[in-house]
A = this chain, B = another copy of it.
Amino acid sequence: MIGVFDSGVGGLTVLKALLRELPLESFVYLGDTARLPYGTKSPATVARYALQAAEALTGYDIKCLVVACNTASAVGLPAVSAHIAPVPVIGVIEPGAAAACAASRSGRIAVIATEGTVRGRAYEQAIRRGRPEADVQARAAPLFVALAEEGLAEGPIAEALAHHYLDPLFASSAPAPDTLVLGCTHFPMLVGAIRAAVGPEVCIVDSAETTARRVRETLTAAGLADGGAAGTLRLLATDAPERFARIGARFLERPISPEEVTLIDL
């Protein structure tokens, strides 16, 4: 099985990309809904939660762990990797940063993310490892998370908020970035409103897609890819499985029944 971990339902956008990229694998997804959101919590607290989640997923005999949460990827990846070695651990930040480096012509790259991810400067650091001369501007867009969870990802409120967050990056007098990284797993839900705010020329990097490709490459390189039958999917949540099912269905783009979601304690 491949383990996927997020603070809640946002990582289901990554799971959706993984299911498309790796249709013959089995997955176990854990949403830490009892303690979400991670984006406003301190790095030490998020790292501790990530370790507990990784520990719980090792009980499912996973061959690979995807940390499908930007905040946890930003602050918890080294500790998680050390804890469950030799199982490979893949976060969402490094693949997104690499895709942005490849996509940008001008080197001017914008990032929108949660408060925690922006404060930790993880995308800046990862992008500068690929392109040391890059001009990276990051901005927190925390209301996008609540908007996506409430099913208001489209329409005038989403578009007004997209302008609120993105105009300072794209409509100022400085030369505009040519690439925008969606540095939070909720944000692909809002891509329509985001596209309307930044215009048709900007390359939008969705780290769900890039992470799914990275997982496939990692499994293939390690000889762990499954050529078997179509896989299974297990969904775990630490609180409120009914809400996880109802809101998660929008993110996964398929119905989820509450009975499919197993409640666990970390």
**B34 close to A41 (CB less than 8 A):** yes
**B142 close to A239 (CB less than 8 A):** no
Report chain B residues within 8 Å CB of A146.
142-143, 145-146
Q: How many residues of A contact B (CB 8 A)?
A: 26
**B157 close to A150 (CB less than 8 A):** no
| Cβ of A147 under 8 Å from chain B | yes
**Alpha-carbon separation in the docked complex, A239 to B44 (Å):** 9
| Cβ of A129 under 8 Å from chain B | no
* Chain A 124-162 interface mask (CB, 8 Å, partner B; 1/0): 000000000000000000110111011010001100110
Report chain B residues within 8 Å CB of A115.
243
**Alpha-carbon separation in the docked complex, A161 to B158 (Å):** 10
* Chain A 31-66 interface mask (CB, 8 Å, partner B; 1/0): 001111100111001000000000000000000000
| Residue of chain B at shortest CB distance from A241 | B42
| Cβ of A83 under 8 Å from chain B | no
**Alpha-carbon separation in the docked complex, A41 to B164 (Å):** 29
| Residue of chain B at shortest CB distance from A48 | B34
| Residue of chain B at shortest CB distance from A155 | B164
| Cβ of A240 under 8 Å from chain B | yes
**A41 close to B143 (CB less than 8 A):** no
| Residue of chain B at shortest CB distance from A242 | B42
Among B42, B145, B149, B157, contact of A160 (Cβ-Cβ < 8 Å): B157
| Residue of chain B at shortest CB distance from A164 | B157
Report chain B residues within 8 Å CB of A164.
152, 157
**Alpha-carbon separation in the docked complex, A231 to B240 (Å):** 41
**Alpha-carbon separation in the docked complex, A40 to B150 (Å):** 11
**A41 close to B156 (CB less than 8 A):** no
**Alpha-carbon separation in the docked complex, A157 to B243 (Å):** 26
**A240 close to B142 (CB less than 8 A):** no
Among B34, B45, B152, contact of A239 (Cβ-Cβ < 8 Å): B45
Q: Which residues of A contact B (CB under 8 A)?
A: 33-37, 40-42, 45, 115, 142-143, 145-147, 149-150, 152, 156-157, 160-161, 164, 239-240, 243
Additional 10 contacts, C-beta under 8 A, given A35-B35, A45-B239, A157-B157: A33-B40, A33-B41, A41-B240, A115-B243, A142-B149, A143-B146, A145-B146, A146-B146, A157-B160, A157-B164
